[in-house]
Structure 1
Amino acid sequence: MTFEAPSVIAEPLPYEAKLASRLLGDIDLVVIHCTELPDLAMAREYGERALYDSGTGNSGHYYIDRDGSVHRYVAEDRVAHHVRGYNPRSVGIELVNTGRYPHWLAAGHQAMDEPYTEAQIASLIELLRQLSAALPNLRFIAGHEDLDTTQVPASDDETVSVQRKLDPGPLFPWARVLNEVALKRLLP
């Protein structure tokens, strides 16, 4: 059983059926990401890449483009690979945003200065409300940066450490989103 809002465009990844299945009652967390890629087409290309022996790759469940359109790549009853340690209990939502692209881990390129569009945030809030109504145990929300705080050597200077994941980043409107939905921010 999967959740299908009328405004969601279902575009399953080729390997969706190979992802582990789960009960909707197992989901209690939504993780907000940004793609850190220039556009939805490139995010789709990255999502389609098979990276594991199972024939699956890394992807969120939902992608929200700058125009507010919502695309579902993985159904909620499947475990998508989007955040270390939290995948079995969470739904991943990716917002199209350049983030640190293309020098994700360069010490001198850690600013995330592309604002999210009004259409993206409005669609995100509506999707979160719909997910809350459809998933009986959904209680928490977190940013990828909240859950993966791993430090790695910078790609341009191995003597400097940078945080591996910074999304959704400093321009994400946490106060607004938390005010609009009945989810509590999960901070480890």
Structure 2
Amino acid sequence: MNTKFHSRSQSDRIKYIIIHYTFADLPSSLETLTQDEVSSHYLLTDGEKPFFYKLVDESKQANHAGLSSWKIYNQLNASSIGIEIVNLGFSDTPTGRVWYTYSQAQIDQLILLLKKLVARYQIKPENILGHNEIAPQRKQDPGPVFPWKKLADAGLIVWPDQNNVAQRLAIYQNQLPDIAWFQQKLALHGYAVPQTGLLDKETQNVIAVFQSKYRQTLFDGMPDAETAAILDVLIFSN
């Protein structure tokens, strides 16, 4: 075999990093991710000193994303690294849904790993995503209390500039864009979203996922001026 020549047109298989919560404790998470059909490359524990289990080699595909899409890519198992974080997700109570927080120690360890993976595979900031972003009609992890802003502060993901958001907010408070505008902008951002011009349940699910990342104080899936301003700033940033 002659290996003298190398094509210029090539890239790493890994283009995305997908973050999940396990919705279970550590023993159950390990059992699921090692004995069932679901798998991930890494599992981050939830003890006092969290650490990673490496469950699937990065050169191999893990089955963590399922039916998924982002921008022009579908079935993201083949092009991503999956990171599961031990976290119980949420509990539904008589007074509403309660989401379980992530420890600072977990996030510190996650950031360290993400920086290594980004350097190794040249992952773009817009390609570090939550499971709910690539499957907004069926997934909620890593949830609305996952501290995305800390990842932004670490230089790992894009975050909307608050001054720019404030400027656009004044515009959209005066006149809110129609649903078709939201659908088009969300699709440009990367989401699989209907292009119907109607505020259907599928569109609300996508808006709620977007809000749960960039505006965690209110993620009801309803289009409003602040959501429009944040979305517009992010599209311009990308």
Category of TM-score, reference length = shorter chain: 0.5 to 0.7
Higher strand share: 1
**TM score, norm. by length of structure 2:** 0.53
In structure 1, what is the equivalent of residue 134 of structure 2? Answer: 147
In structure 1, the gaps of 5 or more residues are 1-22, 51-56, 151-163
Structure-to-structure mapping, 1:18-167, within 5 angstroms: 25-37=12-24, 39-50=25-36, 57-67=37-47, 68-84=50-66, 85-100=75-90, 111-135=97-121, 137-139=122-124, 140-150=127-137, 164-167=138-141
Q: Give, in whole Å, the separation in 2 of the partners of 1:83 and 1:145.
A: 10
Q: Give, in whole Å, the separation in 2 of the partners of 1:181 and 1:33.
A: 20
Greater relative contact order: 1 or 2 (C-alpha under 8 angstroms, separation 6 or more)? 1
Distance 1:125 1:44, change over 3 A: same
- Structure 1 residue identity aligned to 2:43: Y
CA RMSD of aligned residues (A): 2.6
Deviation readout 1:104-148 (Å, 9 max, x if unpaired): xx8x8983511100110000000000111222x422101001111
**TM score, norm. by length of structure 1:** 0.67
Q: Give, in whole Å, the separation in 2 of the partners of 1:115 and 1:187.
A: 26
The reply on whether 1:181 has 2:155 as its aligned counterpart is yes
Higher helix share: 2
Distance 1:97 1:182, change over 3 A: closer
Identity %: 31
Structure index of larger Rg:
2
In structure 2, the gaps of 5 or more residues are 1-9, 67-74, 160-188, 192-238
* Stretches of 4+ aligned residues off by more than 6 angstroms: none
